[in-house]
Amino acid sequence: MGTIRSKLKITEILDILAKAYPDAGCALNHSDVFQLLCSVMLSAQTTDVSVNKVTPALFSKYPDAFSLSEASADEISEIIHSIGMYKTKAKNLILTAKELAGKYGGEVPEDYEALVSLPGVGRKTANVVLAVGFGQQRIAVDTHVLRVANRIGLCCEKDPLHTELALMEILPQNRLTEAHHSLIFHGRRCCSARKPLCAGCPIASLCMKNL
């Protein structure tokens, strides 16, 4: 575990990405931490754009954990049917809402272990909620972060868990959340999986592909 890049190079990469993507941040529309949690749960293997299309109707009818906990899976499925794995996600949303309502007074817990114990909530979802919803410094590893971090040489790992652990070890602790958003934006706008736009990449001279 660790990095093949120096701390100086890592800081330089982060600085360039921050300048290239000043608008980098959570792209999921939400008005509170509960809505954030639901949105991140819905975003698994689905684009944020697709999630943002279904959540207005979802949150209009079920604005909190108490109301969502009383919904049926069929009701939720009807609202979110346009996104992937909607039946499983509908079930997990309701189960999580029931737990929040019964165990946490309807509030989302600001605790990693409590979050990952909720149905349908994994490491990535918990880290996003803690970072965006509660302001903690967290690095959440989605497909973009996994691809970009390893492709440019921030780390050299093959799966999300080991990539997360490696990035936590080598990134500045006060820039974990920033790095998460910057790497996602870079993955979406430049360093795509099939056709990365290397010619116009702001960190091309620092990328391991060119070293």
The CATH number given to whatever domain includes residue 67 is: 1.10.340.30
In a domain, 2, yes or no: no
Range of the domain at 62: 33-134
In a domain, 1, yes or no: no
Count: domains in the chain: 2
Say which DSSP state 131 is in.
I
> 100 and 78, same structural domain?
yes
The CATH number given to whatever domain includes residue 195 is: 1.10.1670.10
Task: Write down which residue in 134, 158, 178 finishes a domain.
Answer: 134
Give the Cα separation of 193 and 196 in Å (integer).
Answer: 6
pTM: 0.92
Distances 191 to 4, 9, 62, 122, 194 between C-alpha atoms, Å: 20, 18, 37, 25, 9
> 188 and 154, same structural domain?
yes
Give the Cα separation of 60 and 82 in Å (integer).
Answer: 17
What are the helix (H) ranges across 43-139? Answer: 48-61, 65-69, 73-80, 86-103, 112-116, 123-128, 134
- Which residues form the catalytic set? 124, 142
> 147 and 168, same structural domain?
yes
pLDDT tens for the chain, 211 residues: list them.
Answer: 445 568 889 999 999 999 999 999 999 999 999 999 999 999 998 999 999 999 999 999 999 999 999 999 999 999 999 999 999 999 999 999 999 999 999 999 999 999 999 999 999 999 999 999 999 999 999 999 999 999 999 999 999 999 999 999 999 999 999 999 999 999 999 999 999 999 999 999 999 876 6
> Are 89 and 99 a contacting pair, CB within 8 Å?
no
> 77 and 156, same structural domain?
no
Question: Closest Cα to residue 27, out of 47, 42, 41, 44?
Answer: 47
> 43 and 108, same structural domain?
yes
> 117 and 68, same structural domain?
yes
